[in-house]
């Protein structure tokens, strides 16, 4: 099939010099109305139901749309993979562009629609910016081959991700680019990026039109638009939803009438928008009303402010590491620090834990480590227990914080609250999946892993939230991460350790050490990263406990000679005593290799932990 020719005459940018460009509305909305299920791959319909897709394009053009978007919003390899169509990226995008081109003929421009990849990219996820740019480039190349007039990058929440999309298109062709973020009710992006930030960034990165679309209705979008137009000399676009969706008889419906949308289309243009249209819930009837409402209007001229808004002029000075906490000061000075791990109770009675913490503090232990849902078990909030111990016992805690149970925004809220409550030391871990714990049917979030969360905490420590907006004073967390000297895939473990350090890790705590030779080898290989290492020590309580640690705890290897010692001791009824002896010997053997010792208190046996630390802390019994 030959590629349809692009529309002749003025370019979209030339048209915008004296006119308002009216876009179409929601493609998915119309396909849904035609009976396509929400969990279907709408992009693949370019191949299996091309006539249906063209019907939608023609309906919008008939209603007065001067530009139609291709049905390719989610047609990147990562989103298509979820439907098994990852090998049809080029085919689906080329078809989408051709269908729109044929429907438009010479009556409308065709915009190649590109949406987010549907995954986290660095620094929040494992997908690199290079991989993201390559995925966008693959999609843009196919749209280009299909005959689009320009590109619209839309519904992005992450500035870093839309930057890769802009780079991908710019690396292929000089066609115009409309770059649109999506916002929440407060006018900021989902990550909290303010219009004052993303408008300027999109301008700097070379977007020809800077805009916002989706997620909110016309009123919120107008308020955001009024902030944006003062910040850029480039044309500005606005494509709101037809309000918030409502569930009516099992169907999602958008209730803003065409007349209401039309009234706001006029307000958008009067505020300075040069591109208007609709997103989810908008139909040809909405577009027809909007086109009629702005027919006689010309874009308003708005003076652009060149000064930074006050909130962008906040001076933030990160807290020096040694001043973050007593634990941090000890690590910086090179003193061997000690901590004991206390698991939160399964109920809310903290009396036993409080008594144990007081005993540990009196013995001279530096800090209490508090796991966050260890082994995916349901226990009292680790953060709540940390606050109780710090405020009522007066001992510092190391709060384990895992990525399993909260999304990225929830994590940021939690950690800002932890800072306000006075918590200072974090151990950031990815976390065990629910299937390992008490409730295997529970759901997990895993919005990011420990590397992404370390990046986020480092930003908070520099006074920057997820969206890049500054705040003061910054948080002052001492950032710890996990390390696994016994990892089966050591090269992979070392790469992740490097990424954690680059993300801002300031110390690491190892998995329980039962093989000192293995620890020595690991320490040698991470020496270049120059962060303090704290050795994890677990006093074995029985032969069964030793077998469990050796066979069922990922990354833990109990040396053969230790297993044999535990077998002999078990036969004599002295397994617990032998476990303490082994742990004490391990502490003495590693104390000159590491910067700290963390001892677990298995089954809440705090006295056992102190026995292991005998000779390490001055007052241990």
Question: What was the pLDDT predicted at 620?
Answer: 43
Question: What was the pLDDT predicted at 315?
Answer: 73
57: its two tokens: 């394009």
Question: What was the pLDDT predicted at 498?
Answer: 93
**What's the Cα-to-Cα distance from 301 to each of 37, 233, 236, 278, rounded to whole Å?**
43, 10, 11, 23
Contacts of 199 (CB under 8 A, 6+ apart): 210, 227, 228, 231, 232
Question: What was the pLDDT predicted at 454?
Answer: 94
Enumerate domains of the chain plus CATH numbers. 12-312 (3.20.20.330), 321-536 (3.20.20.220)
Please give the biggest Cα pair distance in the chain: 96
* List of the chain residues with pLDDT < 50: 1, 306-311, 435-440, 620-621
DSSP string, 452-493: HHHHHHHHHHTTB-TTS-B-SSPP--EEEEEE-TT-SSHHHH
Question: What was the pLDDT predicted at 306?
Answer: 47
**What's the Cα-to-Cα distance from 177 to each of 150, 158, 193, 420, rounded to whole Å?**
6, 17, 21, 42
pLDDT digits (tens, 9 = 90+) for 494-519: 999 999 999 999 999 999 999 999 99
CA torsion 142-144-146-150 (nearest 10°) is 130
């Amino acid at each position: 099939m030959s590629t349809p020719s692009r529309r002749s005459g003025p370019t979209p940018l030339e048209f915008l010099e004296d006119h308002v460009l009216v876009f179409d509305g929601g493609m998915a909305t119309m396909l849904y109305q035609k009976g396509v299920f929400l969990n279907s791959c709408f992009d693949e319909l370019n191949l299996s139901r091309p006539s249906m897709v063209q019907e939608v394009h023609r309906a919008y053009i008939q209603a007065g749309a001067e530009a139609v978007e291709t049905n390719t919003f989610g047609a990147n390899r990562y989103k298509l993979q979820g439907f098994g169509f990852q090998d049809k990226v080029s085919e689906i995008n080329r078809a989408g562009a051709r269908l729109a081109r044929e429907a438009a003929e010479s009556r409308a421009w065709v915009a190649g629609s590109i949406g987010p990849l549907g995954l986290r990219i660095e620094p929040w996820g494992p997908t690199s910016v290079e991989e993201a740019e390559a995925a966008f480039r693959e999609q843009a190349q196919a749209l280009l081959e299909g005959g689009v007039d320009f590109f619209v990058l839309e519904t992005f929440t992450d500035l870093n991700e839309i930057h890769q999309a802009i780079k991908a298109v710019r690396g292929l062709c000089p066609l115009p680019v409309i770059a649109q973020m999506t916002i929440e009710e407060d006018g900021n992006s989902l990550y909290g990026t303010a219009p004052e930030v993303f408008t300027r960034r999109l301008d700097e990165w070379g977007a020809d039109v800077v805009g916002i679309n989706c997620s909110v209705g016309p009123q919120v979008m107008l308020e955001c638009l009024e902030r944006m137009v003062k910040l850029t000399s480039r044309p500005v676009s606005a494509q709101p939803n037809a309000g918030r969706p409502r569930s009516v008889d099992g169907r999602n419906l958008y209730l803003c009438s065409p007349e209401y949308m039309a009234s706001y289309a006029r307000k958008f243009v009067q505020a300075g928008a040069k591109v208007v249209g609709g997103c989810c819930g908008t139909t040809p009837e909405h577009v027809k009303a909007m086109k009629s409402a702005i027919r006689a209007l010309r874009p308003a001229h708005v003076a652009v402010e060149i000064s930074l808004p006050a909130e962008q002029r906040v001076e933030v000075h990160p807290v020096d590491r040694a001043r973050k906490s007593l634990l941090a000061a000890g690590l910086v000075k090179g003193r061997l620090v000690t901590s004991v791990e206390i698991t939160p109770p399964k109920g809310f009675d903290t009396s036993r834990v409080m008594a144990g913490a007081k005993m540990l503090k009196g013995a001279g232990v530096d800090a209490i480590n508090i796991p966050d849902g260890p082994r995916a078990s349901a226990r009292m909030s680790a953060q709540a227990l940390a606050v109780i111990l710090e405020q009522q016992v007066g001992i510092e805690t190391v709060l384990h914080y895992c990525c399993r149970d909260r999304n990225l925004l929830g994590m940021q809220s939690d950690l800002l609250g932890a800072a306000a409550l006075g918590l200072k030391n974090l151990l950031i871990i990815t976390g065990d999946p629910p299937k390992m714990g008490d409730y295997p049917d529970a759901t997990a979030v895993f919005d990011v892993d420990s590397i992404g969360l370390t990046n986020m905490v480092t930003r908070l420590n520099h006074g920057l939230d997820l969206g890049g907006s500054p705040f003061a004073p910054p948080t002052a967390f001492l950032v710890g991460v996990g390390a696994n000297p016994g990892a089966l895939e050591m090269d992979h473990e070392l790469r992740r350790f490097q990424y954690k350090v680059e993300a801002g890790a300031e110390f690491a705590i190892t998995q329980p050490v039962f093989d000192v030779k293995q620890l020595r080898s690991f320490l040698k290989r991470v020496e270049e990263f120059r962060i303090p290492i704290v050795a994890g020590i677990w006093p074995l309580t029985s032969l069964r406990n030793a077998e469990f640690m050796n066979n069922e705890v990922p990354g833990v290897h109990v040396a053969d000679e230790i297993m044999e010692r535990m077998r002999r001791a078990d036969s004599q009824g002295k397994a617990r005593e032998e476990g303490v002896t082994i742990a004490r010997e391990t502490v003495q053997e590693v104390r000159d290799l590491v910067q700290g010792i963390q001892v677990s208190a298995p089954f809440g046996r705090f006295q056992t932990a102190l026995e292991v630390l005998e000779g390490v802390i001055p007052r241990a019994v």
